[in-house]
Chain A
């Protein structure tokens, strides 16, 4: 970890030097949050509430004109930690670096090379379920014509899951993104479509599971037997969002994720539908209501513990998570903004063993330049 931290530090120093020399954009946010289920566990596992402190800062700079090359460096870091209470496993610091070099070869075509790194550093020695590092590099082409933009990128991605190296994976990735204006009305009203497709072949470090039980036998923990080949997943994500901007901003999005895994019990299909509306309400306050529905269908049944000691299990074929959120934001001057947000998350389908509830209330400020 010290090596990774050193690399991040070096990158930060280089980026800081670059930022100091070029025009830059910065943003910061901080606030307090009440989280009714900090560890994000099912109801039966005893969700514990805690007041949390959240902070984040980001800076990016862009410049360069040597041989038509332009670069962008974006750095960000943040933290989320419990202010009080016994739960410390979710306390973490995050850091991210995103560098892009772009070259426009013609009015319609641009070429890019991009490298990213994102890492979560747990603040305690406890098992941190959300501690990981994700890195990626790709080269791409951007085609733009009459407002339409198509981006194609090919590269590789690596994920390190700190609590268990068996879940580390590496693999090639292909991404295609489309931004297409659908309609332009009077008074600059607009309807836009953004769509994307992403393909990843994930080669895991750990072995995949086989079903060790005979067909027709009720699934139990003993059925999951490590196989003789490393796990490999083919992940495909298709998404489309239609956004309207007028006197209100409205977006409606759908995302389909298909994970086809060689490991028994790891394949799934996820449907995610989201809608959001933002409108000015009163005294320059903007309100945003967001609703999200998510349905997971598992190719193989999932075992979920029915008790804290994990002695009995329930089998799930599908599962749903939904959420609703309301956010109020108001700007003060050109750079400051105060925001208040409430969100509620629950599982709407499936066995009671998978029942999940979580509530968040956040109050914070943001700054940007």
Chain B
């Protein structure tokens, strides 16, 4: 079975789990009927298709820009060459023609760059949406399907968000015209999408760490109880008249000095540091510190608490951002009113 078929099967199972009841109508069919497939694609498939489409658009525009850049460079070289030749009426005419042509090319290149930027933004948005769809499907998927979804998710959103999330200016400029306000609102919408994805990620992280913490707590407790059974053989040399063996000292309960002193300097790097970098301009300094410090702990409960605190902070920031955007959009509408 090819990877594509496997993925289709995995997504189908995930969709069944994620959306029971009425949503079963979304179940994909790995058949060749494209129209039917589009009509009945799962949210994950739809999101992935959108990502593919956006990726194609970015690739095509990037290729176009490369061609335009080459043409522009060639035109500039030609102009430079002409400038070096002996002045004449014919040369001036050719130079004017080339300059006009290069100006057109420059304008086209600028427009193309802007289109590439928009296409890249659209790609980022579709990726965030696909990640969110995968996350929703993962909550009820079987372990095998979840692994496949995780693999897809990894391709869409590599872990370790060392990329810092930079929020756009959310202040309402009273002198801005409606178009500028529209641009500002669009930028804020993109930031909101990023923050929504971040809230989801932090929530999953906290939940997972809670599970790990409980599992380890149970495991450690069982091992601790085994130690307190105190069944070690502790024979020492017999003495005349003694009972043959003596217990020198039961030390299994005693704290052994020399062990690690608690979790003061525990292991680092469960991406709390990366999260701190990513969220440095999103959440308050105290939350950033908590995330950084959680790396020093070995306790998954600490990681979970830090993730929850960060999630709450991001959610609060998201809420504030959303309110500002709504105010900006309202202002733009007001300005457009005759």
A325-B222, A360-B229 known; A186-B154 Cβ under 8 A: yes
Q: Is B32 interfacial (CB-CB < 8 Å)?
A: no
Specify which of A148, A263, A278 is in contact with B267 (CB 8 Å cutoff).
A148
The one of B233, B246, B255, B260 in contact with A118, judged by C-beta atoms closer than 8 angstroms, is B255
Q: Does A94 contact B (CB under 8 A)?
A: yes
Residues of chain B whose beta carbon lies under 8 Å from any beta carbon of chain A: 143, 146-147, 150-151, 154, 208-209, 212, 214-216, 218-219, 221-223, 225-226, 229-233, 235-251, 253-262, 264-270, 296, 298
In the assembled complex, the Cα of A301 lies from the Cα of B153 at a distance in Å of 63
Which residues of B lie under 8 Å from residue A129 when comparing CB positions?
246-247, 250
Contact A94 B253 (CB under 8 A): yes
Tell whether A72 is near chain B: CB-to-CB under 8 Å. Answer: yes
Among B225, B259, B298, the residue within 8 A (CB) of A175 is B259
A179 within 8 A of B: yes
A343 and B261 CA atoms in complex are apart in Å by: 30
Indicate which residue in A151, A251, A321 contacts B260 across the interface (CB closer than 8 Å): A151
Known: A179-B298, A304-B235. A112 touches B222 (CB 8 A): no
Q: With contacts A148-B267, A288-B222, A341-B225 known, is A174 near B233, CB below 8 A? A: no
- B222 CB contacts on chain A under 8 angstroms: 276, 278, 288, 290, 325, 327, 329, 341
A327 to B229, CA, bound (A): 13
A82 to chain B: closest CB distance in Å?
16
Is A96 close to B, CB under 8 A? yes
Q: Are B249 and A305 in contact (CB under 8 A)?
A: no
Cα distance A72–B262 in the bound complex, in angstroms: 8
The complex places the Cα of A188 from the Cα of B303 at a distance, in Å, of 12
**How far does the alpha carbon of A133 sit from the alpha carbon of B121 in the complex, in Å?**
68
Nearest 8 pairs between A and B by C-beta?
A175-B258, A305-B244, A136-B257, A288-B222, A265-B237, A134-B254, A153-B258, A286-B218
- Subset of 21 A-B contacts with CB under 8 Å: A96-B254, A98-B255, A114-B257, A132-B254, A134-B249, A155-B257, A159-B251, A161-B249, A177-B258, A177-B260, A179-B260, A187-B150, A224-B239, A249-B216, A266-B236, A276-B219, A280-B215, A286-B218, A288-B221, A329-B218, A343-B229
> What 1/0 mask marks residues of chain A from 136 to 166 whose CB sits below 8 Å from any chain B CB?
1110101011111101011101010100100
B245 and A305 within 8 A (CB): yes
User: Chain A: residues with CB nearer than 8 A to chain B?
Assistant: 40, 45, 62, 70, 72, 94, 96, 98, 100, 102, 104, 110, 112, 114, 116, 118, 120, 129-130, 132, 134, 136-138, 140, 142, 144-149, 151, 153-155, 157, 159, 161, 164, 167, 173-177, 179, 181, 186-188, 196, 198, 209, 221-222, 224, 245, 247-249, 251, 263-266, 274, 276, 278, 280, 286, 288, 290, 292, 294, 296, 298, 302-305, 310, 313, 316, 319, 321, 323, 325, 327, 329, 331, 339, 341, 343, 345, 358, 360, 362, 366
Residues on B with C-beta less than 8 A from A298 are 235
CA A190 to CA B240, docked complex, whole Å: 54
* B247 with A303: CB separation less than 8 A: no
Could you say which residues of chain A place their CB within 8 Å of the CB of B237? 209, 224, 263-266
Complex interface: chain B residues within 8 A of A187 (CB): 146, 150, 208
Q: In the complex, A45 Cα to B225 Cα: how many Å?
A: 26
Is A138 within 8 A of B223, CB to CB?
A: no
Report A-chain residues with C-beta under 8 Å of the C-beta of B270: 188
Asked whether, in the complex, the Cβ of A296 is within 8 Å of the Cβ of B266, the reply is: no
* A62, B262: Cα distance in complex, Å: 10
| CB contact under 8 A between A310 and B244, given known A187-B150, A302-B235, A329-B221 | yes
Query: In the complex the two chains form, what is the Cα distance from A290 to B267 in whole Å?
Result: 26
Asked whether, in the complex, the Cβ of B219 is within 8 Å of the Cβ of A249, the reply is yes
Report which residue of B151, B221, B233, B264 has the largest number of chain A beta carbons within 10 angstroms of its beta carbon.
Answer: B233
Asked if B240 and A137 sit within 8 Å, CB to CB, the answer is no
Chain A residues, Cβ within 8 Å of B245: 302-305
Question: Which secondary structure dominates where chain B touches chain A?
Answer: loop
Contact of B231 among A100, A327, A358 (CB under 8 A): A358
Q: In the complex, which residues of chain A have a beta carbon less than 8 angstroms from the beta carbon of B240?
A: 221-222, 224
Given contacts A161-B249, A175-B257, A265-B237, contact A310 B218 (CB under 8 A): no
Q: Is there contact, CB below 8 Å, between A142 and B298? A: no
| Dominant secondary structure of chain A at its interface with chain B | strand
Question: What chain B residues lie within 8 Å of A303 (beta carbons)?
Answer: 238, 244-245
12 extra A-B contacts, CB within 8 A, seeds A175-B256, A343-B229? A100-B261, A132-B250, A137-B257, A142-B264, A176-B258, A188-B209, A188-B270, A245-B212, A310-B242, A319-B235, A325-B226, A343-B226
Q: Tell me the smallest distance from the CB of A55 to a CB of chain B, in Å.
A: 13
Our pick among A102, A120, A248, A265 for the contact of B215 (Cβ within 8 Å) is: A248
Q: How far is the CB of B153 from chain A (nearest CB, A)?
A: 9
Q: How far is it, in angstroms, between the C-alpha of A305 and the C-alpha of B130 when the chains are bound? A: 74
**A189 → B minimal CB distance (Å):** 9
Contact status A100-B265, CB under 8 Å: no
CB < 8 Å: which of A132, A137, A274 contacts B249? A132
In the complex, are the beta carbons of B229 and A345 less than 8 A apart?
Answer: yes
Query: What's the least CB distance linking B46 to chain A, in Å?
Result: 24
Find chain A residues with CB under 8 A from B143 CB: 247
A310 touches B239 (CB 8 A): no
Contacts of A290 in B (CB 8 A): 222-223, 226
Complex CA–CA separation, A321 to B241 (angstroms): 26
Cross-interface CB contact of A288 among B218, B229, B231, B235, cutoff 8 Å: B218
Q: Which residues of A contact B225 (CB under 8 A)?
A: 325, 327, 341, 343, 362
Q: Given A265-B238, A280-B215, A321-B232, is A134 in contact with B261 using a C-beta cutoff of 8 Å?
A: no
Give the residues in chain B near A186, CB-CB below 8 Å.
Answer: 147, 150-151, 154
B214 touches A286 (CB 8 A): yes
A193 to B246, CA, bound (A): 36
Q: A114-B257, A290-B226 are in contact. Are A100 and B262 (CB under 8 A)?
A: yes
Report how far A209 CA is from B238 CA in the complex, Å. 10
Query: Chain A residues with Cβ under 8 A from B230's Cβ?
Result: 40, 130
Q: How far is the CB of A360 from chain B (nearest CB, A)?
A: 7
Report the Cα distance A327→B238, complex, angstroms. 37
**In the complex the two chains form, what is the Cα distance from A135 to B325 in whole Å?**
64
Q: Give the distance in Å from the alpha carbon of A327 to the alpha carbon of B209 in the complex.
A: 23
- Cβ contact within 8 Å between B246 and A164: yes
Residues of A contacting B231 in the complex (Cβ-Cβ under 8 angstroms): 40, 321, 323, 345, 358
Contact of A138 with B258 in the complex, beta carbons under 8 Å: yes
- Chain B residue numbers with a CB within 8 Å of A319 are 233, 235
